[in-house]
Amino acid sequence: MSNKTTKLIVAIDGPSASGKSTVSREVAQVLKIVYVDSGALYRGMTWKAVREGVDVKDPEAVIAMMNDTNWEFFIEDLVLRFTIDGEDPTDHLRSEPVRERVADIAVIPEVRVFMVERLRETAEFGELVMEGRDIGSVVFPDATFKYYLDADPEERARRRHKELVAAEGKGDVKQVLSSLQRRDTIDSTRKTAPLQISLGAKVINTTKMTIEEVVSRIAEEVNAYRARP
């Protein structure tokens, strides 16, 4: 861990549906600091590609589009928000076209370099809880706290299926599991910033834990650190 002269950053990594988004958001609320969903930026880029009819499997086309975009970041209720070319993509970031293509966008090295730069810039907003797949390993390797959340694949599929049913009224568990496994393979085998447990990260298996238990553990550890002289 860094000493207290360093800005407090809590990095929470892990695969899809490991619980990191909900946990990170609630930890930020408890600590009263800014929450950053790094995946939202990648989904935003994917949304832009889909909207512009850009083939996400064509890196050169994606990079050309990316270099022509203008991103603006702001904080709303202690959550990082953004616009791309003046448009707010928030309502479309979890749509199926974006979900099924974001891994292809995220695997492009130039996209990852672009996103890491943008994510590091968010430290200007103050103390952060940032979640993603390479936060502790690449974006903020010297983060004050680093966690890696994981869960059994079947449990992750069940959670994601539940989310989809709640949001869209439909979802197939087997299809969800297949999609998660595909994303895991892409994330863990990509050449640039693969999904991995970063050096010094605490691993928390959330399979049999409630969200409240995970949030409480992390918040207690951070608050204990804050309370030190």
Residue ranges of the domains in the chain?
9-214
Sign of CA dihedral 220, 143, 9, 22: negative
Q: Residue 178: is its pLDDT beyond 70? A: yes
pLDDT digits (tens, 9 = 90+) for 6-31: 789 999 999 888 888 899 999 999 99
What integer best gives the mean pLDDT of the chain?
89
User: Helix H segments across the chain?
Assistant: 20-31, 38-52, 59-67, 96-99, 102-106, 109-121, 153-168, 173-189, 211-227
Chain-centroid distance, C-alpha 26: 14
Q: Residue 5: is its pLDDT beyond 60? A: no
pLDDT digits (tens, 9 = 90+) for 104-134: 999 999 999 999 999 999 999 999 999 999 9
Of the pLDDT bands very low, low, confident and very high (cuts 50, 70, 90), residue 167 is low
CATH number for the domain formed by residue range(s) 9-214: 3.40.50.300
Q: Which amino acid is at 189?
A: T
